Structure formats: C-alpha cells, structure tokens
Chains A and B, each alone.
Chain A
Amino acid sequence: METARYLLKKLLSDRTAALGAFLILLLILAAILAPVLATHPEDVTEFHPSERLQGPSAEHFFGTDRMGSDIYSRILYGARITIAIALIAIGVSVLIGVPIGLIAGYYRNWASEALMRVSDIFLSVPQIVLAIAIAQTLGPSLENVILALSATYWPFWARLVYAETRSALNETYVEASIALGARPWRVMMLHVLPNISSSVIVRTTIGMGGTILTAAALGFLGLGPPPPTPEWGRMIAESREFLPEAWWYATAPGLAIFLVVMGFNLLGDGLRDILDPRIRRSRDE
C-alpha cells in the first residue's frame, strides 16, 4: 500500500506521465459513462438520414456521419470497443507470453530453446502483416481482430520475460534459494516474477498503445468489426468518401486514437523511469 502511494506520487510529479494517466482516465471514463456523456446515445444503432454529414454544432459537437448519426456519441461508445480490444488482446498475450518466457528462461534445455525459437519466428514477421493475414483468413469481426492481435503479440512478452528471467536467475538471493532446494514454481512466483514485473508492466502499458494503433489499422482496412460498430479505424475509412467537405468526419476519430495512444506511451515512459531505475529515461530514450 505504501509503495503504491509512493508510486502514484512519483507518477503525478512527472508532468508528462501524469498527462498520460489523465488521457487514459479520460478514455476509461468515456467508455464507462458513454450512456451518460453521449448527447445521442441511441445513435450507435439508430440513424437519421435526413441529418447526415452536418458539420460540428452545439447539437452535434463533432458533426454527423454518413447515416446522420452523432459522431461525438459514437466516439464515446467506440471507446468501449477500443478498450475491449486492447485489454483482451494484451491480456491474452501476457497470459501466453509471460509463462512461456518464464519457463523457457528458468529451464535450460531443448524445450526452452524451442519455445524461444518459435517466438523468434513470430517476431520475424512484422506484427501488422501477420495480424492482417490472420484477420483476413478468419473474416472481419471483433473476435477475430482480438484473436489476430493476441496471436501476434504474445512473443514480445515471451522474449522480454525470457531475458529478464535469465538475468534474475543470476541474482545472488535467487541462486541461494535454488541452492537451498526451493521448488521451481516457488522460485518463479516468489523471486523471479516480482523481479521482472516492472518490465512487464512498462511493456504492457506501451503495448496497449501499439495494439490500439494496430487494431485501428485493421479496422481501417475493413478487417475490423462490421458496421454499425463505432470502431474508430472504420469511422476514418468511412469518411474518405466524403472528403474534403466532411473534414470533421475523419478528424474526430483520428484525434481520439491519437490521444489515447499518446496517453499510453507517456504513461509507459513515466512508469519506466519510476519502476525501472536501471534504465533511466535520459539514457534509454
């Protein structure tokens, strides 16, 4: 509890990290309070063709889209999609990647070598390319986007945790506890995992931003959830037909993506400074 308070204090004293945290807070609030904050909550599924493509006004803060729906309200609901994709995809990646990295790092045998080689092969293809291939073969839907992202993102954690585990095992007290006959899972859980958790948290925070960008790109390419899902990438793709007149149509969702990803990146940077004293920002940046 003490450490948490200490961390929070340190985080808030770093202006950029605080800004990041604030932006993420906004995203979460937008998602949770979407029904309250939205001026036209029904517009996620309901359309008003006669009001289509109107510019920003007091009635429609960010204008209306091709179906006459309120873009502001749709962006708020889109925050839910974004959070769902990022949380589940990253969650799954962590759940797959961390144990693999941990086990492969702990045991030094052919199996751990093979596990790392498999993740290296995944890392040998640019993530977005592999995600496109998978999402394309599975067909466009929310579930498949999440699947494609999870399937391509876990090796990053496996790699990271593997390397961190190897170095943690060199720590004297870990070596000591192994020498004293502690069981492997006990060593992993009690000594290795806490040791590497800060790197994982930093990587996860920055990974959230990356995932949101990739998911938006998939949506933009038409591989995301189908209409009328208010997915941000898809909204930008829709808008292209109505440019340059309907400039607001592309601007608002893009700005939303930008701010959210920026939030995660800033927070990630800040967390790295605080949690990982070995790599100060001044050195690593």
Chain B
Amino acid sequence: MKHAMRHAVKFVQHPLRAPARALGRLALAACIAVGGLTASAGFAGADGKFVFANSSPYDSLDPHAVFDVGRVATRLNLYDGLLRWHDNPPKLDPWLAESYEISDDGLTYTFKLRQGAQFHDGSEIEASDVVYSMERILAMKKGAFSLYQGTIAPGSTRAVDKHTVEFTLTKPSAIFLSTVPEIHVVNEELVRANEVDGDWGTVWLSANDAGSGAFQLRRYDPAIGWSATRFDDHFMGWDHNPNPLDEIEFRTVVEINSRVLGLMNGDFHGTDGYLPQDQVKRLEESDNVYVNEQESMRIFYAILHNGRSPMNDIHFRKAVSYAFDYDGFNQDILSGSVARNPAPVPNNIWGSPGDVEGYTFDLEKAKEHLDQMTEPLREITVGALAGYQQTEQAAALLQNGMNKIGIKTKIVAEPWSVVSNNMRDEQQMYDILFLWRSTYYADPHNWVGEMYACDQIGARNNSWYCNQEVDKLLTEALTSTDPELRKANYEKAARLVTEDAAGVFVYNTKWFGPFNAKVKGVHFSPIGNAQEMRWIYFEG
C-alpha cells in the first residue's frame, strides 16, 4: 500500500535535483564555515528554487476539491483556467481561452481555446477536457461547486469543436465570467485512467498532477508539502520573466514563529501575508526580508442570525453593532494593520458605498437601542473559529462590550469543518459568528450579493436575512449587464444592509507579504495573494 503511494507521489523525476542538492550542500558548508546558520541567506535561491512556507497543510492537490485561499498555490501553479485574475485591483485576463463571446440573452458563453496548449504529459488541451472538468466540479460538489450551483446544469456544457467550448446558463448571471477562472482544466484522459469505481479520480488526483500549469508536480507528501519544476512548454511561454524559477516548493509550516524565523535566516523565500503585526515588524527589521504591503479584499465581520430572536429585533442588532470596540480591535489588537470597513463590501472595490459611516463603539447608544427592544433578552452564543486567534479575540472583545450593556454571552470556538456545517443549518447556526469573507472572484456580488440574497439563505447567506428591497436590488444586479446599474444597486444594497445592522462589519484586510530580499517580480492579486510563481525571479 505504502509503495503504491510513494511511487504515485514521485511520479515525475527531476533531472536537476542531484546537482541542486550538491550546490545547496556546498553553500551550506561554506556558510557554516563563515559562522552559523543565520548567514545562510547568502545562497537563498542560488539554485533557482523558491521555498514558500505555507500556514495550512496541503492535504489535497485536487483543484476541484479545494477552494480556499490558504491552498491556492496548487491551483495557480499546477493548473490553468480559461481566464485568470491578475493584479490589484483585479482584472480578468484571457488565459487558456484566447477569446470568448456572450450571447445577447446572456445565457450562452462560448470560449475559444488557444491552439497547441499542452498538459504536462504533452497531450493537447482540448475543449473536451474543459467539459470534463466542469462536469467533475458539478459531480464532486466540493471546492468551487457553489459558484456554479443553480447556474450550470450537469451535462449542459458542450465541446463545439476541438477548440471551442460552450457553457449554457440556466439563468443570466452577471458573475459567471468572474467565476470562470475557478474551472481549472484537468487532463481528462489521465484522470479517467485513474478513476476507481466512478470516483472521478478523486483519490488519485488528491496526490497527483493532471494539469497544464507553469510548474509540474515533482514531489508531494501531505505531511511536508509539495514541490514542482518549471514547465518549459507552458502555453503562455516564459518571455515575461528574465530568469524564471527552476523549482518551487510549498512547504507546510504551521507555526508562525517558524515561518518568520525561516524567512529571517533565508530558509524560506516567502510566506503568507496575514501574519500578526508584531511578527511583521520583526520581519521588517531583518535585512534579508522585505514586506510587500497591499490593500486586499478580505473583510472581517460578525454574522448575526437575523432569523432568530432576539437578533430579529433591529434594536438588538444595533445594540450589538455599537457594543464592539472597533478601534480597540483594529488599532490595538491588530496594530492598525487593517482598515475599518463599515459595510459588507470591501472599501476598495466598485460597488462599495463610500459614504457609509458605519457604527462606532458607543455603549450609550447601545443601551438606548437595548431599551427600545421588544424581544426578550437571553444568553447569546458567539461562535469563533478554533485555531484562528483573531476570531477568538474578536469574540472575546464583543463579549466584553456586551457584558457592559448587560447581555450575557457564551463563546464557542469550533473547528472550521464544524462551523461550516453549522452555519448552513438554521437551528445549528450560532447567534453570532465571526468570520472572514475572502475574494473568490472580484465582484461585489462575492460579498453583499451572496451574503444577503434571499435565495442564498442556508447556503451562502448565513444570516437568515431577507429584505425584499435588498433582494430586488441584488437580483437585478446579478442579471444585468449594465455596469452603472450594477454599481448603483450594490452600493444601495450595502447601505441598506448596514442600516439594518444585519451584521457587524469590522475591517478590510491589508496584505503584508514578506519576501526574501532577492525575490523580484511579485504580482499581487487579492485572488491568489501573490502565489502565482511564474512571475517571480531572483535578483543577481
């Protein structure tokens, strides 16, 4: 059993490996001679290998099973989609598709694939692979599936010819195009060859590579991470990069201190950009590291269960909104590393209502609203994500404020898998739950649209909030192709939701991406957080 797996994992042999290691060894020996391991930064990347320290484990490499920002690197580097998000603010670039057309009724999307684009095994990427990938997503019901649920029916995607693929939507959707980058194309022939009992190759693909990305998998061990070598035949070529990397390695390093120390002494060349601010300061002081600061799109907020008493009382919701110490959280606990974001749309995307003031920490006002309540008070359960200190700290801070206005609370910290189940069940959902909303696609619908639409209740609307006026605006925006109307609608909807205090909106993230001083060419985008490695090179 073990053998089969090991072979599967090491299925790509890498010619560069032995010399690279020898070089590293030599350099290491030299450094020890010079004095201590801390001096080893000198040879960082000397062999064209970039080591990224990732905070969450890569338990699966399947691009259709995983849809989170923590493990985006496998999708961006081993796989390709028809389109791809780049830069900040994000824009949608043609990728595997060189062009596309949308029918007048907004229901049919036709993509023209590049000629001669290859998978890692050398076979050509064809429209049928795209169809298979779409069907695989719909069948597995994991990862990015929710983006297509109700929009794309199984069996409705068609390969018109070898290089043309056609999606037919069940209803017009202004965001479909934005979600196309998540249709990562897998090599149909290869995956089918590894299917077991009609499992769509899920077991096999969790540890192997069937992609076309700029890098191809060399080694994978769920306990350690994965590494991949440059794919010279990638369809986008390598002309954009003067000195592309030979190898990338994404290693799981759960502990923050290990990531920080590793960066400071040159073992790692990059890590995630959401470190606690104290650690960012440490990194900034190191000569080996620079910190790339970017405004991202990842809002932090508290979901209130609007469907349950007393949260169904607007005065209670307002009281809660006034009972959270926004400055204490953003300025003190997070050392000012985030920007206050008072509405359910990130400040830095179109559709954000710039004029909304939002709520402040004001216990007097909170008490006033409490006095006007009609619903009876009771103990409130505040949910937090176990293992994510920020959510726990926010919950504790809210508890602090609510204590002072006389509301009893209980904090429940549970792991994400439990939370994500509970938040889809009206009975199981916490009264209040602190959570992030990251960018899955750069459209305001990703936030206010999904979070507060009536038909998303129990799916992506976990507030059980349904305001007909808001819903009308959102539905109109989702089906319209007029950018001005969409912008106006999202702004108005966000304003109404804020007015209703449907949630407690806290901040929008800034991203502090630490990199080795020699690393150049970093391209940041809120989708992918600068983990697309084909841009990156080492200076000197």
Q: Which A residues lie at the B interface, using CB under 8 A?
A: 45-47, 49-50, 52-53, 66-68, 139-140, 222, 226-228, 238, 240-245
Assess whether B413 is in contact with A49, with CB atoms less than 8 Å apart. no
- Complex contacts, A50 vs chain B, CB 8 Å: 328, 332
Task: Answer whether residue B220 sits at the interface, using C-beta atoms and an 8 A cutoff.
Answer: no
Interchain CA distance A163-B256 in the complex, whole Å: 49
Assess whether A53 is in contact with B278, with CB atoms less than 8 Å apart. yes
Task: Answer whether residue B403 sits at the interface, using C-beta atoms and an 8 A cutoff.
Answer: yes
Interchain CA distance A243-B256 in the complex, whole Å: 9
Assess whether A242 is in contact with B276, with CB atoms less than 8 Å apart. yes
B403 partner, pick from A45, A68, A243, beta carbons under 8 A? A45
Minimum Cβ distance to chain B for residue A101 (Å): 37
Of B329, B392, B395, most A-chain CB atoms within 10 Å: B392
- Complex contacts, A49 vs chain B, CB 8 Å: 325, 328-329, 331-333, 397
- Complex contacts, A226 vs chain B, CB 8 Å: 384, 392, 411-413
Assess whether B396 is in contact with A228, with CB atoms less than 8 Å apart. yes
Which partner residue on chain A sits nearest B275 by CB separation?
A: A241
A227 partner, pick from B325, B332, B413, B414, beta carbons under 8 A? B413
Of A227, A228, A241, most B-chain CB atoms within 10 Å: A227
Can you spell out 15 A-B residue pairs with CB atoms less than 8 angstroms apart?
A46-B403, A49-B331, A49-B397, A50-B328, A52-B332, A140-B413, A222-B415, A226-B411, A226-B413, A227-B392, A228-B411, A240-B257, A241-B276, A243-B257, A245-B278
Task: Answer whether residue B475 sits at the interface, using C-beta atoms and an 8 A cutoff.
Answer: no
Nearest 7 Cβ contacts at the A-B interface: A49-B332, A49-B328, A226-B413, A228-B396, A227-B392, A50-B332, A226-B411
- Complex contacts, B411 vs chain A, CB 8 Å: 226-228
Interchain CA distance A216-B392 in the complex, whole Å: 19
- Complex contacts, B333 vs chain A, CB 8 Å: 49, 52, 66-67
Minimum Cβ distance to chain A for residue B429 (Å): 16
- Complex contacts, B387 vs chain A, CB 8 Å: 222
| A139-B403 contact in complex given A49-B328, A241-B256, A241-B389, C-beta closer than 8 Å | no
- Complex contacts, B347 vs chain A, CB 8 Å: none
Assess whether A242 is in contact with B413, with CB atoms less than 8 Å apart. no
Proximity string of chain B (259-286) to chain A, C-beta cutoff 8 Å, 1 when within and 0 when not: 0000000000000000010110010000
- Complex contacts, B403 vs chain A, CB 8 Å: 45-46
Assess whether A66 is in contact with B413, with CB atoms less than 8 Å apart. no
Interchain CA distance A242-B386 in the complex, whole Å: 17
Interchain CA distance A49-B384 in the complex, whole Å: 18
Minimum Cβ distance to chain B for residue A242 (Å): 6
Interchain CA distance A228-B382 in the complex, whole Å: 12
- Complex contacts, B255 vs chain A, CB 8 Å: 240
Number of cross-chain contacts by CB at 8 Å: 67
B389 partner, pick from A140, A238, A245, beta carbons under 8 A? A238
| A227-B396 contact in complex given A139-B414, A140-B414, A241-B389, C-beta closer than 8 Å | yes
Assess whether B413 is in contact with A47, with CB atoms less than 8 Å apart. no
Minimum Cβ distance to chain A for residue B258 (Å): 10
B396 partner, pick from A47, A139, A243, A244, beta carbons under 8 A? A47
Assess whether A67 is in contact with B278, with CB atoms less than 8 Å apart. no
- Complex contacts, A45 vs chain B, CB 8 Å: 399-400, 403
- Complex contacts, B257 vs chain A, CB 8 Å: 240-241, 243-244
- Complex contacts, B413 vs chain A, CB 8 Å: 140, 222, 226-227
Interchain CA distance A52-B277 in the complex, whole Å: 13
Proximity string of chain B (235-260) to chain A, C-beta cutoff 8 Å, 1 when within and 0 when not: 00000000000000000000111000
- Complex contacts, A139 vs chain B, CB 8 Å: 414, 418
Give the interface SS of chain A, mostly helix, strand, loop or mixed.
loop
Which partner residue on chain A sits nearest B396 by CB separation?
A: A228
Interchain CA distance A241-B400 in the complex, whole Å: 22
- Complex contacts, B282 vs chain A, CB 8 Å: 245
- Complex contacts, B400 vs chain A, CB 8 Å: 45-47
- Complex contacts, A46 vs chain B, CB 8 Å: 400, 403
Task: Answer whether residue B393 sits at the interface, using C-beta atoms and an 8 A cutoff.
Answer: yes
Minimum Cβ distance to chain B for residue A195 (Å): 47
List residues 323-361 of chain B with CB under 8 A from any CB of chain A.
325, 328-329, 331-333
Interchain CA distance A218-B386 in the complex, whole Å: 13
Assess whether A240 is in contact with B256, with CB atoms less than 8 Å apart. yes
Of B276, B397, B413, most A-chain CB atoms within 10 Å: B413
Assess whether B328 is in contact with A227, with CB atoms less than 8 Å apart. no
Which partner residue on chain A sits nearest B389 by CB separation?
A: A241
List residues 383-422 of chain B with CB under 8 A from any CB of chain A.
384, 386-387, 389, 392-393, 395-397, 399-400, 403, 411-415, 418
- Complex contacts, A228 vs chain B, CB 8 Å: 396, 399, 411
**Known interface pairs A140-B413, A241-B256; 7 further A-B residue pairs with C-beta atoms within 8 A, sorted by A's residue number:** A47-B397, A67-B397, A68-B332, A227-B411, A228-B399, A228-B411, A241-B389
Minimum Cβ distance to chain B for residue A237 (Å): 9
Interchain CA distance A15-B8 in the complex, whole Å: 63
Interchain CA distance A238-B397 in the complex, whole Å: 15
Minimum Cβ distance to chain A for residue B65 (Å): 23
Which partner residue on chain B sits nearest A223 by CB separation?
A: B386
Assess whether A67 is in contact with B396, with CB atoms less than 8 Å apart. yes
- Complex contacts, B384 vs chain A, CB 8 Å: 226-227
Interchain CA distance A228-B397 in the complex, whole Å: 10
Of B331, B333, B387, B412, most A-chain CB atoms within 10 Å: B333
Interchain CA distance A245-B418 in the complex, whole Å: 33
Minimum Cβ distance to chain A for residue B413 (Å): 5
List residues 411-453 of chain B with CB under 8 A from any CB of chain A.
411-415, 418
Of B255, B276, B396, most A-chain CB atoms within 10 Å: B396
Interchain CA distance A53-B396 in the complex, whole Å: 16
- Complex contacts, A52 vs chain B, CB 8 Å: 332-333
Minimum Cβ distance to chain A for residue B427 (Å): 16
- Complex contacts, A240 vs chain B, CB 8 Å: 255-257
Minimum Cβ distance to chain A for residue B374 (Å): 28
List residues 66-81 of chain B with CB under 8 A from any CB of chain A.
none
Minimum Cβ distance to chain A for residue B400 (Å): 5
- Complex contacts, B332 vs chain A, CB 8 Å: 49-50, 52, 68
Interchain CA distance A49-B399 in the complex, whole Å: 13
- Complex contacts, B328 vs chain A, CB 8 Å: 47, 49-50
Which partner residue on chain B sits nearest A53 by CB separation?
A: B278
B386 partner, pick from A67, A68, A140, beta carbons under 8 A? A140
